[in-house]
Amino acid sequence: MYGVAGMAAFEKTMAYAKSKGMIVMADVKRNDIGATAACYANAYVGKTPMPYGEEQAFSSDIATINPYLGVDGIKPFTEACAANGTGVFALVKTSNPSSGQLQDLKYEDGRTLYEAVADLVEEWGAETRGETGYSVIGAVVGATYPGQLAEMREKAPHTFFLVPGYGAQGGGAEGVAKAFDDKGLGAIVNSSRGIIAAYQQEKYASFGAENFAEASRAAVEDMRADIAGALANR
């Protein structure tokens, strides 16, 4: 919402995270038809042709994408990922309350739309599966739908999950644990407001707004312990 200034802050934040050795994910939900999808892919998970050679436009290692356009909008991303050691997560079952308006619609064969997309993600990633069995394209499956998480983990064994909705949106550790495979791998759990705005929560209010970073750190440590405990008790 801040226009060019916002994009500058976005790029600066990613570059800072990269300088600290972090893996950076751009939750941009991009896509379009093939030619434009290739430009998005170059910008976020590939390299862009510049006057003095190819360069990475943004300092991201992973991006979220919209699968609605089908394989035409997916292949440019998987190709860029395979060439650059990066990855993408396609929207499958999102964490927002109204996701079912479209994602829960059923096909004649009984599958829901999100199940059909999950099947396609497995198919689209087949050529890029590595030693761990996972590919460069994963699936976004919300923590607010733990039943679907467990279902998708079983049906999509080669798909890495990005799990939004933990914390502020109501997702809990017990449900999130269902996203991981038998080795405790295969998922990244995302908490945005619960960490960024931790100092506004009653639990961390004692830190005060001036110590927001310390409050965020405490929230991260609590989240990690919470999920680790749930995984141990599966």
Catalytic residue numbers read: 29
Q: Which residues of 95-127 are buried (b: 16+ CB within 10 A; e: fewer)?
A: beeebbeebeeeeeeeebbbbbbbebbbebbee
* Amino acid at position 141, single letter: V
CA dihedral 222→223→229→230, nearest 10 degrees, is: 150
* Measured distance CA(48)–CA(192) in Å, rounded: 29
Cβ neighbors of 61 (< 8 A, separation 6 or more) are 23, 24, 25, 45, 86, 87
